[in-house]
Structure 1
């Protein structure tokens, strides 16, 4: 996360805290936006971590890309988050995964940030609410390209949470449509 700060706002010592605050606000608004778009049901009766996991899984449907996920992925959200089955081995999953981009692997007790087939760090499950920020930090620190199947949602996060504008040539028609609808919803 500190590398992300150095890349985007080097002189702002509060940048990481500001990004986390914007992320929290963004997630709260996206909860309502997902309900508005009839993609999600209101988050009632679930814990904070479970709500965060459900939101992560819904993000690609809320902000869809025009490209389908690779055939071995069940849903586009699997490009950045995967909930491990009780008996599923994280290392086996990573080796079989068709993408090498950063991914969050969620187990019953914690979550793992991985890149390619290598785990990078493990976190307590209650920190899953910030998981996608760590994914974004890896994209920036390693100068990675977003997978096409989730490029729109990651671009939305880039522009709305990280406050980093997209180059004109990187603004796909799916992004332009999604950002226009989103900004109309939030009144920007």
Structure 2
């Protein structure tokens, strides 16, 4: 995440702290936005840094900020482009080799979070760091100069602007992104 900070704002030595604070605020706001859009139903897990809330949020974000492209059929729903929950006994390596996308993904087995790019695990986070997993995922997109998968491009673009604090140039901003961001910002105004 430090590399992400150097890419986005090299002069801010507290970039990661600020981004984590923006992520926490974003998560809190996403609860209310999700309920308003009827994508979430109360009661919700209270701890926005907890595992249950993070899983719920990552599964819901693609429906809050939908992309026009459908996920590959073998992937299932768009949230699988961000997070896959491993069942007991699942082999993460086998899952990664069969996964139809090569984009970064969070794999979670209940105790450990593996961040993989393509079919290669690159980072491991402990359960108490799982809530920061999407930020680390974004850092890999930036550091490796990867393109967002079309099925989650809108949600990752929103996170890019609202959490990472990096602007999207007008020529790169899709109509879906503009509409989602206007709806998001309009809800809180």
Please name the residue that 1:66 is paired with. 68
- Is contact 1:104–1:135 with CA below 8 Å preserved after alignment? yes
The size of the alignment, in residue pairs, is 187
Contact 1:86–1:107 (8 Å) recurs in 2? yes
- For 1:45 and 1:113, locate their aligned partners in 2 and report how far apart those are by CA, in whole Å: 24
Deviation sequence 1:105-124 (CA, Å, 0-9, x none): 01021110110001011111
1:108-155 CA-to-partner distances (Å, cap 9, x unmatched) read 211101100010111111211111000100000011000000000000
Q: Map 1:12-31 onto structure 2 (within 5 A).
A: 12-31=12-31
Provide, for residues 31-88 of structure 1, a one-character-per-residue CA deviation record: whole Å limited to 9, x for no partner.
Answer: 1100110001124357621111110011000100000001111110111110111121
C-alpha RMSD of the superposition: 1.1
Between the aligned partners of 1:154 and 1:8, the Cα distance in structure 2 is: 15
Please list every run of at least 4 consecutive aligned residues from structure 1 whose deviation after the TM superposition is greater than 4 angstroms. Answer: none
User: Among residues 147, 150, 159, which one is paired with 1:148 in the alignment?
Assistant: 150
TM-score (norm 2): 0.96
Residue aligned with 2:73, SS:
coil
Give the drift of 1:13: 0.5
> CA separation of 1:15/1:43 partners in 2, compared to 1, >3 Å: closer, same or farther?
farther
- Does structure 2 retain, via aligned residues, the 8 Å contact 1:110–1:123? yes
The 1-side partners of 2:142 and 2:98 are apart by 25
Given that residues 19 and 163 in structure 2 are in contact (C-alpha distance below 8 angstroms), is that contact kept between their aligned partners in structure 1? yes
Please say if residues 53 and 128 of structure 1, whose CA atoms lie closer than 8 Å, have aligned partners that are also in contact.
no
Determine the structure 1 residue equivalent to 2:135: 133
Match of residue 176 from structure 2: 174
Structure 2: which 5+ runs fail to align?
none
Structure 1 SS opposite 2:41: coil
Does 2:117 match 1:115?
Answer: yes
CA distance in 1 between counterparts of 2:46 and 2:23 reads 20
Distance 1:84 1:41 in 2: 24
**Aligned pair partner of 2:165 in 163, 166, 171:** 163
SS at match of 1:123: strand
Counterpart contact for 1:31–1:42, Cα < 8 Å = no
